[in-house]
Amino acid sequence: MKVLVTGADGQLGYELKRSCPQYISLIETDQESLDITDSTAIAAAFEEYAPDWLVNAAAYTAVDKAESDQEAAEAINAKAAGLLASACVTHSARMVQISTDFVFDGLQSTPYAPEDRPRPLSVYGATKLAGEQVVSETLPDALIIRTSWLYSAHGSNFVKSMLNLMQSRDELGIVCDQIGSPTWAATLANATWQLIEKGASGIFHCSDNGIASWYDFAVAIQEEAVVTGLLKQEIPVRPIRTRQYPTPARRPAYSVLDKQQTESQIGVIFPYWRVSLRNMLAQLIHE
C-alpha cells in the first residue's frame, strides 16, 4: 500500500516516518517538493506516485500569526485541503485530514465528542474547521483526526520552548486556566496508521490521556527534565491567568477531546500524557 504524506518535515510527519508499518510504502513530501496550495504540483504528485492514501500533515500552525495572516492560513488549512481532497476523488485515493481541538469554543466542562458542535474562537481554528468541512464534503469517506497540544522531539513546540526558557530565565509564569491534553506526536502517528489499517472514515479524536493546564504541563516538563539531566536545576514556575498573558488569538479554556470511539475502533488505550512526555524527553536525550 502506498501512502503519500504532505508536510512530512513537521512534527507529525517526523513521527509518521518513525512508526510507518513495514507493509506501507511511504512517500514523504515537504513544502518544497509538494506545495499543497499548488494544484498543478498536486496533480503531478498523484500522477507520479498513484498513492492509495494521502495523509495531509501539512498545515499553517502559527496560531497567533494567523490572526493577522488570515489569507495564508485559509489558503493552506482550508483551500489546499480541498484541492487534495479533489485529487483523491480523481485518483480514487483515501485521505486523512488532521485537525485540531481549537475547532471548539472551550465552554464545555466535559470532553468534546467528535459530534459536538464546533465553534472556533480563532482564525486558525476557523480555517482548520473549514478544512474539515471541504474535505468531508468533497470526499465523504475521508478520515478526519482531531488532536491537541502536539509536541515532538522534532520541530518547535511547548516542551522545547519550556526547556529553553527554564535554562535562561530565573522564573516563569505559565497560564493555568486553559485545560487540555498534551499529546506526543508519536501517539497521533501510531493512531493514524492504525485507523488507516482499519479503513476508518469520519471524525476521530486522538490525544494522550489525562488532562493538564499549561502550568501543570510546564511543571511536569521541569520535573521530568531535572530527573533525566536535561535541566540542571529547577526554577520557580508560577500559575498565571490567561488575561495576564494576552495573545492575538483567543484559545479555548477547555479543549479536552473524548477519545472513546477512537480507542475502541483501534483497540488501544492512549498513553497517559506524562508517560508520553517522559518517552519524548528520553528520545530527545538520545538524539
Ligand X SMILES: NC(=O)c1ccc[n+]([C@@H]2O[C@H](COP(=O)([O-])OP(=O)(O)OC[C@H]3O[C@@H](n4cnc5c(N)ncnc54)[C@H](OP(=O)(O)O)[C@@H]3O)[C@@H](O)[C@H]2O)c1
Rule CB under 6 A: which residues touch ligand X? 6-7, 9-12, 31, 35-37, 57-61, 76, 98, 100-101, 128, 147-150, 155
Nearer to ligand X, 101 or 216 (CB): 101
| Residue 7 near residue 59, CB atoms below 8 Å | yes
List the catalytic residue out of 14, 124, 215, 254.
124
Nearer to ligand X, 160 or 278 (CB): 160
DSSP-derived 3-state class of residue 202: strand
Q: What is the DSSP letter of 113?
A: P
| Residue 215 near residue 245, CB atoms below 8 Å | no
Nearer to ligand X, 101 or 233 (CB): 101
CB of 262 to ligand X, least distance (A): 15
23 labelled catalytic: no
Neighbours of 262 (CB within 10 A): 23
Whether the CA torsion 56, 70, 75, 153 is positive or negative: it is negative
Nearest residue to ligand X on Cβ basis: 10
Query: Residue for cell digits 503519500?
Result: 4
Nearer to ligand X, 131 or 166 (CB): 131
Nearer to ligand X, 97 or 222 (CB): 97
CB of 150 to ligand X, least distance (A): 4
Count Cα neighbours of 261 within 13 Å in the Cβ-side half-sphere: 15
236-258 burial string, b = 16+ CB within 10 Å, else e? Answer: ebebbeeeeeeeebbbbbbbbbb
CB of 32 to ligand X, least distance (A): 8
CB of 95 to ligand X, least distance (A): 13
* Helix/strand/coil percentages in the chain, nearest 5: 45, 15, 40
CB of 119 to ligand X, least distance (A): 16
Catalytic residues, by residue number, are 124
